[in-house]
Amino acid sequence: MTWVTIDRLQKTPLIRQIYTQLRTKILNGEFSAGYRLPSTRQLAEELEVSRNVVLEAYEQLLAEGFLEGHTGAGTFVAEGAYLKKTDPITPFMMEKKLSKMNYDSIIDFRSGIPALDLFPRKQWGQIVKRVSIETDHSLFGYDSPEGRIEFRTVLADYLLRTRGVECHPEQLVITSGATQAFTLVAKLLLSPNDKVIIEDPITHEIQTIFQSYGASLFPIKVDEYGMVTTQIPTEIKPAFIFVTPSHQFPMGGTLPIQRRIHLIEFARKVGSYIIEDDYDSEFRYEGPAVSSLQGLDPKRTIYIGTFSKILSPALRLGYLILPPSLIERGRRLKYFSDLHTPSIEQLSLALFIKEGYLEKHIFRMRKIYRKRRDFLKEQLCKKFGDRVRIHGDSTGLHLVAEFDEIYFTDSLLSKIYGNGVKVYPVELHTINKGFYTNQIILGFGYLNEAQIKEGITKLEMSVNN
């Protein structure tokens, strides 16, 4: 008989080799129902293997229903074990990157990326190791949907100290980055056809998320101070108002107290919530950090924060501060999304904050980013002189550059890209189109001075040729 072959050089165990070949032949109909297999003794002799090997392969096939055994009568192929094959899946490559960037060959002014080469990798590695080795073993089990209490306690302290955010640890839900916080807010508050008042422009992904939950967006224009709150129509009753008051994205304004109060009074009147997205205000270059909007009315504001900009987006750690009335539902929604956020990372970050590493890191990075920002502004002025105006550079990891008579059409953007530079038009993030065609967003967080210089030089070349 030649229908089973074994290969003693292969890593696959002999039992598995025999099992797999028989299984395949039954599935594809080569051995059909009722076919009698050789006895285990006979097959073992032919293949020169121990009889136990054949016995185990047969037993597995019996257990899975491929074979039937009749005591004394032998082993037969069972009914109903033939399956018509479809075409196999052919190898294919579709490593299309939805969000991954090319860090090497292109100078990419993408916003919101911290200096990856300055991530405190040694401290982080050591802390994770310590947490893994020293914590009680319950750490490795299922945890609470809202996150580790140690982390939430440390975080509530940190937020009060640095951001004027008023919250009890019970109000926090730890999320997988700010993105998950946006989807949880959408699930919490949105019903189809609900209105959402939102800044225009505002991060494109956030628009997509709210729309995917059925919201219709009501855009309010933005000036150098953020949302122009006086333009909110009094008759509208939104599910919520979404704002980035510390550092409007992308235009960079900081919302003055009058507009904050206006928003809160409006929200109180119509009975809706305010979502405060605070993504990078730790890096404020002029004066101390602005206090949060949340602190003005913690019952009406949902605050969303992230460690992606101040530490690393790879950690996927963000959080949501909920008013008491929404806590139970918020936890439940988190539970049914992914049970909870990874525990070892949460505890590691708690320690990282508690032992002062985070604030030290932010302090260090703020100086570095300020230098990069100043250098970028300098380069822009040097290359474009009067033709460029800078917006929103008081805070964060990006600024907006507005140009006289340079319009960032697709063809200009391709040309710039062809020259090895990637810039992001503000128009990517607008709802009402056409008002920001001469403006681009320039992230500077993870680019060093040499890269910034080369990038702006090439940008100027692309524009003027």
Q: Note whether 128 binds its own copies by CB under 8 A.
A: yes
Per DSSP, the residues of 94-154 read ----SS---SSSSEE--TT---GGGS-HHHHHHHHHHHHHHS-GGGGS---TT--HHHHHH
Q: Note whether 117 binds its own copies by CB under 8 A.
A: yes
Q: Note whether 457 binds its own copies by CB under 8 A.
A: no
Q: Note whether 383 binds its own copies by CB under 8 A.
A: no
Mask of contacts with its own copies, 44-73, x by CB under 8 A? ------------x--xx--xxxx-------
Q: Note whether 258 binds its own copies by CB under 8 A.
A: yes
Tell me whether residue 187 or residue 387 sits nearer to its own copies (CB atom). Answer: 187
Tell me whether residue 186 or residue 459 sits nearer to its own copies (CB atom). Answer: 186
Helix 357-384 × helix 449-463 angle, to 10°: 30
Per DSSP, the residues of 178-228 read HHHHHHHHHHHH--TT-EEEEEES--HHHHHHHHHTTPEEEEEEEETTEE-
Specify the pairing of strand 318-321 against strand 172-175. Answer: antiparallel
Instruction: Tell me which of 36, 41, 129, 269 binds its own copies, using CB under 8 A.
Output: 129
Residues 272-331 within binding reach of its own copies (CB under 8 A): 286-288, 290-291, 296-300, 308, 312-316, 323-324, 327-328, 331
Tell me whether residue 67 or residue 456 sits nearer to its own copies (CB atom). Answer: 67
Tokens, residue 287:
């004066």
Please return the burial class of 320, using the count of CB atoms within 10 Å of its CB with bins 0-12, 13-18 and 19+. buried
**Sole window of 46-54, 137-145, 421-429, 454-462 interacting with its own copies (rule: CB under 8 A):** 137-145
DSSP state of 30: S
List alpha helices for 213-321, DSSP H: 257-270
**Sole window of 8-16, 37-45, 382-390, 428-436 interacting with its own copies (rule: CB under 8 A):** 8-16
Binding-site size for its own copies (CB under 8 A) equals: 122
Instruction: Tell me which of 31, 151, 163, 177 binds its own copies, using CB under 8 A.
Output: 177
Closest CA to 375 of 436, 441, 437, 454: 454
Least separation, in Å, of the C-beta of 202 and its own copies?
A: 16
**Sole window of 46-54, 109-117, 369-377, 430-438 interacting with its own copies (rule: CB under 8 A):** 109-117
CA distances from 339 to 130, 259, 342, 454 (A): 25, 38, 9, 46
Least separation, in Å, of the C-beta of 99 and its own copies?
A: 5
Specify the pairing of strand 318-321 against strand 301-306. Answer: antiparallel
Q: Note whether 189 binds its own copies by CB under 8 A.
A: no
Least separation, in Å, of the C-beta of 37 and its own copies?
A: 15
Instruction: Tell me which of 126, 216, 414, 432 binds its own copies, using CB under 8 A.
Output: 126
